Structure 1
C-alpha cells in the first residue's frame, strides 16, 4: 500500500514557546516519524487522489453530526501524503506503526500487530467504528497508556482495538490528531472522545491544546505538541479564528482569498489547512483562472498543470490573503520539486505546478485546501484551546529548492 520513496523525516517535540499564549516549560521529548508521498495509488495520479480526499471532506457537511462523525469517508489509507510514527501502547509498551492524520481524530491499533493487553489495559465495553472511504476499522474501545516518547506519556487514553480492518496493509492503525468533534459518534454510548493532544493538555503535560507543524522542502521538519517552535519561524505566528462555514468548520477550516499577481482568482471563502493533502486545491472556477493566467496545459499522466521554462520565468506570486496577512507563494513555491518528477510518473525535464482543481466551483463551503505544498513554505499551528489556526513565515518561504 505504501510503495513510495521517503520524502523527509520529521521530529515531534513536546514543548516550545507559543507566540500567543505562554506555555509551561518542560523538557523536550522527541519522536521521529516519516513522511511519504504516495504518488500513485491504485493507478490514480496524485491530483485525483487529492481530489477524492477533498470531495469526501465536502460530503461531510451534508450529513448529520452523528452520522458524519461515525462514518467519515475521508481517505487516509490511499492518501497522497501519509505519515507514520512508532507509538507505544500499554506497559510494558508494544510498539505500533501508526499513520498520523490531521483529518481524523481516533487513535487505534491492531490492523497488523495484535493488541497486547497489559496491567494498564481497561476494556470500556464500548464498540468503536470508523470508515475512511478506502479503508475502515471496527472493534472495542480500551483505555490504555500511550507513549509517544519519554516526555509524552498519556495514561487512560481512549484507543480503538481493531477486530476488523480494511485497507491498512503495512501499518497498525492511526494516531488521530484532527479536531475532537470528528470523534463524535465513533464510540458507542459516548459523545466526543478526547484525542491524544487533548489528554496531553488536560493532564498538564503541555500548556496549550495545540499542534505546531514545520516542513522544509526536501529536508527534515517537526511537529510541536503544545504550540509553536519560534526557532523555526522568521515572523510572529499570526492567528485567525476557525471558520464557521460548513463543512470546513468540521476540520481545520479558515477563510481566505487568493490573488495571482494583482488579479483575484478566488474571492474570500472557506476552506481548510490539511497536512494530508499533497497539493494546493482550489475551486474549479479559480483553477480555470489560474490556468489561463499562467498559460499552463494539463498533463493527463500526472494530472498536474505543466508549463514551459519561459512560462516559469514569467510566473507571478500567488498570494493567500488570510486574516489581513498576505502569504506569498513564489514562482519556485508553485512548482513540484523537479527531482521528484519521475516519482509522479512525469518527465524529469518538465515543470509541473502544485495548484490543482478541487473538483467543484466555489460556493460549496470547502473551496480550497492548503495542503503540504503550501505548508512546506509556512509554519502552521492548530490550536484547539483558542479555536484558531496560526501561520508564520520560515527560512523556506522564499527558498529556491524546486
Structure 2
C-alpha cells in the first residue's frame, strides 16, 4: 500500500516507442518520462460530480459537432495523471494531463507558455470545454519533445483563460482527430500528437498502447507504447472491439459492452467511451440503481460515492464487462477506492477502513457508460486509429488486492 504522506504521488512512467516482437514495422528507440498523480486537497471537490460533468459535456459537444460546448463549471477534477513534456527550443518542460477524450494539446494553466525560436503564432484562436474545466487562447505551432521522441509543428493551444486545471499545466490530447473539430478558428480539424507521429514517420501505425499499474501498488509504473503495444505486459490475448456505430460515442474511443454483477445483467449492450481523464466507472442510472441494490451500498453524502461495510465487502461479487464476447472481470478489490487514499475523496474521518465503491451514476442525457482510469489500471488497453478499434487484455494487476 502507498503511504499517503502528501496529496501528490509521483509515479515513474515508461514510454516505449515500438516493439521488435510484432510484425508491424515499428521504431525501437525508447523514451522514459514521469507520470504524476495529482491529488487536490481533501474536500475541495467531489469526484462523482466532476466526472459526471465531464461526461455530460463530452456528450453535448459530440452532439453539436464540435468540442467546445457551453457548460456550467462547478466542479474541479480532484485527480489526474500528467506527463512531463518538453516544448520549444530551448526546451521547457510542462506537466500535461493525459487525455484520450480530447484531441487538443494545450498549455498555460499553472505554468505560462514560453515563446522560443521554434514557436509560430498562427493567428488563430482556440477554445475547448471539458465539463469540469475549459480553456481559451491562441494557437501556436511548436516542437514537442518526450526525451528522444520529437514532434515538429504540433498545434498547441496557449491559454489566456482557463478553469478547472489547478495543479497541471495543460492537456496532452491523444483522442481521435475529429475531437479537434471547431476548436480552432479558420480551421476544420488540427492534427493530433498521434497524427503527427505517423505523418512524420516516427511510427508506422497510429496505435497507442496504455498500461497503468494501480496507484495503490508500491511499484506504480506505467507504459505508453507509440506505434504498437507491449505483449510482455499482458497475461491474455487481446480482445478488440470496433468503434461503436452509436452516436455520439462513436466520436470518441467508444465501444459497445454489457455489464453483469455476479449472475445478474445490470446493463444490456450499450455504447459508451473509454477515457483516461475520467476517474471512476460511470454507468447508466438504471444499472447504477441495480448495482447499488445488489451490493447493499448506501450513498455517502460527503464523497458522493457508494459506501459499504466490511461485511458487505466480503460478499461482493465480480463485476463483469463483456466486450466483444470476452469477459473482463473486476474483482471485489478492484471495485473499491484505494483505502489508504480516502482523504483524497473528502473522507475527513481519517479512517482508512472505510470502503467506497468506484462505480457511480452517470446521470441523464449522456453515454451508457464511461470507463475511467480505475477500470484501465486493471487491463492493458490499445487505442488503434489505423483499424478503428479498441483492444483490451488482462495484466498481472488485473486481480491485484492492493486496494
**TM superposition score normalised by structure 1:** 0.90
Match of 2:137 in 1: 139
Match of 2:94 in 1: 96
Could you tell me how far 1:289 is from its partner in structure 2? 0.8
- Cα distance, 1:209–1:349 mapped onto 2, change above 3 Å: same
Inter-partner Cα distance in structure 2 for 1:36 and 1:328: 27
Inter-partner Cα distance in structure 2 for 1:320 and 1:221: 23
Pairing 1:351–2:358 present: no
| Pairing partner for 1:208 from 199, 205, 208 | 205
Could you tell me how far 1:285 is from its partner in structure 2? 0.4
Inter-partner Cα distance in structure 2 for 1:12 and 1:72: 35
- Say which is worse superposed, 335-344 or 367-376, in terms of deviation: 335-344
Could you tell me how far 1:5 is from its partner in structure 2? 3.0
Pairing 1:27–2:29 present: yes
Inter-partner Cα distance in structure 2 for 1:80 and 1:250: 26
Match of 1:82 in 2: 80
Q: Which runs of 5+ in 2 are unaligned?
A: 1-5
Matches within 5 A, 1:146-225: 146-150=144-148, 152-217=149-214, 218=216, 219-225=220-226
Note if contact 2:104-2:173 (Cα within 8 Å) is conserved in structure 1.
Answer: yes
Could you tell me how far 1:241 is from its partner in structure 2? 0.5
Note if contact 2:122-2:139 (Cα within 8 Å) is conserved in structure 1.
Answer: yes
Match of 1:107 in 2: 105
Match of 2:3 in 1: none
- Say which is worse superposed, 378-387 or 86-95, in terms of deviation: 86-95
Match of 2:395 in 1: 394
Could you tell me how far 1:47 is from its partner in structure 2? 1.8
- Matched residue SS, 1:70: coil
Inter-partner Cα distance in structure 1 for 2:72 and 2:210: 21
Pairing 1:5–2:8 present: yes
Inter-partner Cα distance in structure 2 for 1:388 and 1:182: 16
Note if contact 1:17-1:228 (Cα within 8 Å) is conserved in structure 2.
Answer: no
- Say which is worse superposed, 160-169 or 244-253, in terms of deviation: 160-169
Matches within 5 A, 1:233-272: 233-272=234-273
Could you tell me how far 1:127 is from its partner in structure 2? 2.2
Inter-partner Cα distance in structure 2 for 1:206 and 1:374: 27
Note if contact 1:10-1:32 (Cα within 8 Å) is conserved in structure 2.
Answer: yes
RMSD after superposition: 2.4
Q: Which runs of 5+ in 1 are unaligned?
A: none
After superposition, the C-alpha distances for 1:162-194 in whole angstroms (9 at most, x for unaligned) are: 334444444332221122111111111211111
Inter-partner Cα distance in structure 1 for 2:13 and 2:152: 25
Inter-partner Cα distance in structure 2 for 1:390 and 1:366: 20
Inter-partner Cα distance in structure 2 for 1:348 and 1:257: 32
Inter-partner Cα distance in structure 2 for 1:37 and 1:111: 16
Matches within 5 A, 1:34-49: 34-38=36-40, 43-49=44-50
Inter-partner Cα distance in structure 2 for 1:72 and 1:180: 21
- Matched residue SS, 1:292: helix
Match of 1:290 in 2: 291
Pairing 1:16–2:15 present: no
Inter-partner Cα distance in structure 2 for 1:74 and 1:397: 37
Inter-partner Cα distance in structure 2 for 1:96 and 1:166: 18
Could you tell me how far 1:301 is from its partner in structure 2? 1.6
**TM superposition score normalised by structure 2:** 0.89
After superposition, the C-alpha distances for 1:264-313 in whole angstroms (9 at most, x for unaligned) are: 11000101111111111111101111111111122212222122222222
After superposition, the C-alpha distances for 1:119-169 in whole angstroms (9 at most, x for unaligned) are: 32223232222233454333332222111221x101111112333444444
